[in-house]
Amino acid sequence: MKRIVKLGFAAIAALLLFTQCNKEQPQAQPAQACSEGAKGIKIAFVDIDSLLANYEFSVAMNKEMLRKSENMRLTLIEKERDLQQDFEDFQRKIENNVFATQARAEEEQNRILKKRESYEKLSERLASELAAETQKNNIILHDSIDSFLKEYNATQGYDLIISRVGDNLLYANEALDITNEVIKGLNDRYTEEK
């Protein structure tokens, strides 16, 4: 989902640049006119994969989410094991005619079914909470990067900063890559805020 959103942002930025060039120049020589019109535009790009892997705040958030995900998984495994044990005990009791009455057997079966429903609700609730927290963290991370880029760009004066995600950028002069500067600035700001 994040990759689709990032690719969408990059496509929108490229489309805006292309349409801006086409609006400003006569249609007689579009390729030449666009390149001439784009000469005054200051563009840079940030490699999002590198940024997310090296931005200390992002790394810390990812570790925390991984810890929560593992705890959720362990909780569910424990509950599932307990449920499986109850089911196996019930099957064994049925096979050995341990229950004095049919009503008692049905009562035990209903208890296990309720326990299974409780497990399924817990699983859904935990997954939902984890997804909501992940979404919240993504918004916080995006806001952090966005606010830094606004501050950073106040002194740099870029007209357009594009995100490179994977191989969505067909070609870019490496001199336009400001990833390391942005990572350093983000990490410096994060360290100061700690």
Within 13 A of 87's CA, how many CA atoms are on the CB side? 10
Q: Are 2 and 138 in contact (CB under 8 A)?
A: yes
Cα 37 from chain centroid?
A: 36
Candidates 117, 125, 110, 111; CA nearest to 75 is: 125
165: left (phi over 0), alpha (psi -120 to 50) or beta: beta
Digitized pLDDT (tens) for each residue of the chain, 194 residues in all:
444 334 343 433 443 333 344 344 333 333 333 333 467 899 999 999 999 999 999 999 999 999 999 999 999 999 999 999 999 999 999 999 998 899 999 999 999 999 999 999 999 999 999 999 999 999 999 999 999 999 999 999 999 999 999 888 889 899 999 999 999 999 999 999 87
